[in-house]
Amino acid sequence: MIFHNLRIAAKSLRRNTTLTVLIISGIALGIAVATTFAAFRHAFAKHPIPQKAETLRYVRLDSWDPLKPYPGNDPTQPPTQITYRDMRGIMQSKIPMRQSGMFVSNMYVYPDPKISRPFRELVRLCFGDFFPMFDVPFRYGSGWDAKADAGPEAVAVLSEEMNAKLFGGRNSVGKTVRIADRDFRVVGVLAKWEPNLRYYDLTQGGVRVPEKIYIPFNLIKPMQIRSSGNSDGWGAGGAPGFDGFLQSETCWIQFWVELPSPAAAAAYHDFLNAYALEQKKTGRFARPLNNRLSTVSEWVDVAGAVPRQATAMLVVSLLFLAVCAVNLVGLLLGKFLARGGEVGVRRALGATRVDIFLQHIVECELVALVGGAVGLLLSLGALAAMNAWLKATAARGDFFHLDAPMILLSIGLALAAGLVAGAYPAWRTCRLAPAEHLKI
- Residue number, 193 or 234, with CB nearest to another protein: 234
Contact 156/177 with Cβ under 8 angstroms?
Answer: yes
- Residue number, 295 or 387, with CB nearest to another protein: 387
Angle between helix axes 404-430 and 308-337 (nearest 10 degrees) is: 30
- Residues near another protein (CB under 8 A) are 22, 26, 29-30, 33, 67-68, 71-72, 105-106, 108, 110, 117-120, 181, 226, 234-237, 239-241, 244, 307-309, 311-313, 315-317, 319-320, 322-324, 326-327, 329-331, 333-334, 338, 386, 389, 393-394, 424, 440
- Residue number, 262 or 389, with CB nearest to another protein: 389
Among residues 59, 83, 70, 63, which one has the least CA distance to residue 285? 63
- Residue number, 189 or 303, with CB nearest to another protein: 303
Contact 365/419 with Cβ under 8 angstroms?
Answer: yes
- Residue number, 7 or 221, with CB nearest to another protein: 221
- Residue number, 109 or 190, with CB nearest to another protein: 109
* Structural element, H or E, at residue 156: strand 155-158
Q: How far is the CB of 190 from another protein (least distance, A)?
A: 25
Among residues 305, 339, 412, 427, which one has the least CA distance to residue 38? 412
Q: How far apart are CA 352 and CA 357, in angstroms?
A: 9
Task: Tell me the residue type at 301.
Answer: D
Q: Half-sphere exposure of 7 toward its Cβ, with a 13 Å CA cutoff?
A: 4
DSSP assignment of 65-89 equals -TTSPPSSS-TTS--SSB-HHHHHH
- Residue number, 18 or 92, with CB nearest to another protein: 18
Q: How far is the CB of 410 from another protein (least distance, A)?
A: 17
Q: How far is the CB of 3 from another protein (least distance, A)?
A: 30
Q: Is the dihedral of CA 148, 293, 45, 135 positive or negative?
A: positive
Contact 425/391 with Cβ under 8 angstroms?
Answer: no
DSSP assignment of 105-138 equals EEEEEE--TTT-S-EEEEEEEE-TTHHHHTT--E
Q: How far is the CB of 2 from another protein (least distance, A)?
A: 28
Q: How far is the CB of 8 from another protein (least distance, A)?
A: 22
- Residue number, 114 or 117, with CB nearest to another protein: 117
Q: How far is the CB of 392 from another protein (least distance, A)?
A: 8
3-state secondary structure of 409: helix
Q: How far is the CB of 248 from another protein (least distance, A)?
A: 12
Q: How far is the CB of 109 from another protein (least distance, A)?
A: 9
